[in-house]
Amino acid sequence: MNVKKVIETKKLSRVFKNGEIEVRALTAIDLEILEGEFVAIMGASGSGKSTLLNILGCLDKASSGDYYLDGVHVNKLNKNQLADIRNGKIGFIFQSYNLLSRTTALDNVGLPLVYDRTGRFKNPTEIAIKALKQVGLGDRMYHKTNQLSGGQQQRVAIARALVNDPALILSDEATGNLDSKSSIDVADLFVQLNNKGKTIVMITHEPEIAQFSKRIIYLRDGKILTDEIVKNRSTKESALQDLEISA
């Protein structure tokens, strides 16, 4: 079987220099993520998971090593090309949603299309509406962000990450600000999207959320500690049951 590699890193390292002090945030990361995978990256704070996500998301560049995203050798790109890669190939989801305030859900979702330079989206509004329906917010399109609950806001953010049909969805603690019930909803949404073929990489420190994914990578001190397939995946139902038992 010949499945496309969405992410491929070779000896990826990132060193931060703060005056005289050098901090090695990542050391020689070799990572391959194939199309259709759903990966959770875990680790204590300072383990390098955010740094890794920033590099995978083309927000930051590696100090050494190579990174191929969907076949593109990212190391060689300049700032504008990186911006275009983020716009075309990546969908970001943040812990604090990062939606535009006092702006409708629809306008928020359509934002990535504003910066599209390829002209591949003929009907931006229709595409944005479709993305909102996909996350179950078809009836909240013209609500402004401050009129939505946290879970709804995060779903708007997920719709925004979907709207440009990215090769990779990157989630940075997407459930960090949500209550358990909403967290399960978001995790379940990820599963549904993954079932439709989306490649998802998410950072989380909640094991019960990571349990929804297909593969869990543990980082420690900037290195991959373990990389395991999830055997007993959670579903929405099982997670809700666990929630009731613990309550």
Partner 1 sequence: MLQLFKTFKVAFQAINKNRTRSLLTVLGIIIGVGAVIMTISAGEGATKQIQDQISGLGTNLLMIYTKTEHRGGAHVRMGKPIDKRDLEILQKNSVWLTKISPLVVDAIQAIGPKGYKSTAIYGVSHEYFEIMSRELYLGEVFKEDDVKAGKKICVIGETIREKLFLESDPIGRQIRINKIPFTVIGLLKEEGQGTMGQDQDDILIAPYTTVQNRLKGTQSGYEMIMASAISENHIADAKIEATELIRESHRILDGDENDFDITTQIELQQITGNITGILTILLGSIASISLLVGGIGIMNIMLVSVTERTREIGTRLAIGARESDILTQFLIEAVVLSLVGGVLGVLVGIVGNHIIYKLTNFFIPTAMYSILIGFGFSAIVGIAFGYFPARKAAKLNPIDALRYE
| Site for partner 1, rule CB under 8 A | 54, 57, 59-60, 79-80, 83-84, 86-88, 92, 94, 96, 98-103, 107, 111-112, 114-117, 119, 160, 164
Residue 45 or 80 with smaller CB distance to partner 1? 80
Q: How far apart are CA 166 and CA 183, in angstroms?
A: 23
Smallest distance from partner 1 to CB 144, Å: 10
Q: How far apart are CA 74 and CA 62, in angstroms?
A: 10
- Token reading at 67: 């990174």
Residue 150: what residue type? G
Residue 158 or 184 with smaller CB distance to partner 1? 158
Residue 128 or 191 with smaller CB distance to partner 1? 128
Smallest distance from partner 1 to CB 226, Å: 27
Smallest distance from partner 1 to CB 149, Å: 20
Provide φ and ψ at 54, rounded to 5°.
-60, -40
* Secondary structure of residue 23 in the 3-state scheme: strand
Residue 55 or 191 with smaller CB distance to partner 1? 55
Comparing C-alpha atoms, which of 224, 243, 138, 222 is closest to residue 180?
243
Residue 123 or 241 with smaller CB distance to partner 1? 123
Smallest distance from partner 1 to CB 103, Å: 7
96 forms bridges with which residues in the sheet? none
Provide φ and ψ at 7, rounded to 5°.
-125, 135
Smallest distance from partner 1 to CB 90, Å: 8
The answer to whether 168 and 90 are in contact (CB under 8 A) is: yes
Q: How far apart are CA 25 and CA 233, in angstroms?
A: 30
